[in-house]
């Protein structure tokens, strides 16, 4: 039986609070098995952002866990697709279609094997770079023109299969590094929705944590 606090949260998530103008999507795989894996850096970062805003991404909608939040005066739907990484675009497309959000207003947080751990990179658009979650979103939105913040997990060692590397567990120290990157992602998202993407790129791209 749900507690009174669960009911309050549900009411808070269903009350109208202004038009959703942006989607902020953290990519990962659902379930305890994947909770602390490299491939779930998007989940870890967006959970950190939610924590900083005093909200929880817990309302089930669009095949995702969601919540609403304000960034620089813009209403944003934060979401963690529950469709597994390869089908992330299904949840994103449903939300984008419902709220009539153009691709350039979809901001995606994901892991990146081409970046060293402790690095983040903001891009306005681009190819998936071998990332299945980004590839799914590109396919479902029929566009590469959405900003993304990529969080470095490093190239796989020679003796690893790629799947084993990205699904490998992060250490507690590595998780804290991703959370610190999440702090900067929070600021970067505020800049992006304010039309300051170039400034965000200049500030955060190449920064080491």
CA distance 108 to 89: 11
If you ran DSSP here, which 8-state letter would residue 100 be given?
T
CA distance 102 to 42: 21
At residue 173, the 3 state secondary structure works out as: helix
39 is catalytic: yes
Handedness of CA 143, 60, 32, 53 (dihedral sign): positive
Active-site pick, 20, 22, 23, 39: 39
Count of CB atoms within 10 A of residue 147's CB? Answer: 23
| Per-residue CA distances from 206 to 63, 184, 203 (Å) | 34, 12, 8
Of 180, 209, 197, give the one whose Cα is nearest residue 45: 180
> Which residues neighbour 4 within 8 Å (Cβ) at sequence distance 6 or greater?
none
> Which residues are identified as catalytic?
39
């Amino acid at each position: 039986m749900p507690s009174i606090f669960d009911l309050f949260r549900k009411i808070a998530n269903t009350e109208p609070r202004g038009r959703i103008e942006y989607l902020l999507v953290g990519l990962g795989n659902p379930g305890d098995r994947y909770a602390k894996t490299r491939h779930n850096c998007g989940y870890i970062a967006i959970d950190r952002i939610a924590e900083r805003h005093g909200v929880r991404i817990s309302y089930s909608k669009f095949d995702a866990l969601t919540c609403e939040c304000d960034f620089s005066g813009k209403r944003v739907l934060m979401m963690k697709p529950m469709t597994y990484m390869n089908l992330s675009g299904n949840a994103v497309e449903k939300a984008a279609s419902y709220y009539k959000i153009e691709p350039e207003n979809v901001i995606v947080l994901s892991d990146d094997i081409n970046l060293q751990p402790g690095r983040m990179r903001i891009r306005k658009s681009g190819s998936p770079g071998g990332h299945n979650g980004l590839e799914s979103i590109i396919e479902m939105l029929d566009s590469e023109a959405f900003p993304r913040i990529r969080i470095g997990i490093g190239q796989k060692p020679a003796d690893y299969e790629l799947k084993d590397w990205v699904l490998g567990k992060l250490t507690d120290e590595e998780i804290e590094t991703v959370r610190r990157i999440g702090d900067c992602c929070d600021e970067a998202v505020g800049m992006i929705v304010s039309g300051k993407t170039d400034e965000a790129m200049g500030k955060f791209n190449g920064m080491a944590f």
